[in-house]
Amino acid sequence: MPDSNGVVGRIPQHLSQTSVAAAESVEFLRERIDHFIIRFRPTRDHNRILTKLFKFVSLFLSAVLTILIGFRSIQNPIWIGNYTLFVPLPLSAFLTSIVAWEAFSDYKWKWVRYRSTLHSLYNLRDNLNFAKAKSGMLSTDEVDAFYQQLMQIVDETEQAWLSQRSHLAALKGNKSRSG
């Protein structure tokens, strides 16, 4: 039930309007930090899995191609038949496609970047909780400083992603002009 300030019972009544606003700001900040953690964690995990998957498939196909081509250079065993003649070409085309997609998507860069972002978000959340536990109530200036740190973390990640995409687009543009 709301108290005389219209705030639901999680904030004691004896606090001033400024204290109530600061407490609500801290709660809002915690929710935003948790929102970004929830947003970045599965993306980091997804990119980690795809990085490892693409690397494994690339290595596996490379090994199979090497073995097939190697068999062709020695006397063809009967059990392998014409596979050494016809399989390597489509397999190498598929491998080229996988490697090109991996380079375009750059899952490893995203994995590392989002891991770094999550680390910063966890640190910010811990610092906020520690400051709140230490002093009991944060001032509006302290809450604003924490919020600015949150926005800086998110903005840096966004700018890094845009820079990465721009860099890849520039490389693609240079290759198409030179070819």
2 has which bridge partners?
8
The mean predicted confidence, pLDDT, of the chain is: 84
Which of 157, 156, 148, 48 lies closest to 107, judged by CA?
48
Which of 43, 22, 48, 36 lies closest to 141, judged by CA?
22
Per-residue pLDDT tens for 3-27? 444 444 454 555 566 677 778 889 9
Measure CA of the first residue to CA of the last residue in the chain; give whole Å. 70
Per-residue pLDDT tens for 93-148? 999 999 999 988 999 999 999 999 999 999 999 999 999 999 888 888 999 999 99
Residue 89 CA to residue 72 CA, distance in Å, equals: 13
Give the three-class secondary structure for 85.
helix
Which of 110, 117, 178 lies closest to 150, judged by CA?
117
- Which two three-digit tokens encode residue 29? 């900040």
Residue 152 CA to residue 133 CA, distance in Å, equals: 24
Q: Dihedral sign for Cα 89, 92, 98, 101, please.
A: negative
Say what the pTM is: 0.74
Which of 62, 175, 34, 53 lies closest to 118, judged by CA?
34
Residue 10 CA to residue 19 CA, distance in Å, equals: 13
Per-domain residue ranges for the chain? 17-172
- Distinct helix (H) and strand (E) counts, the chain: 5, 0
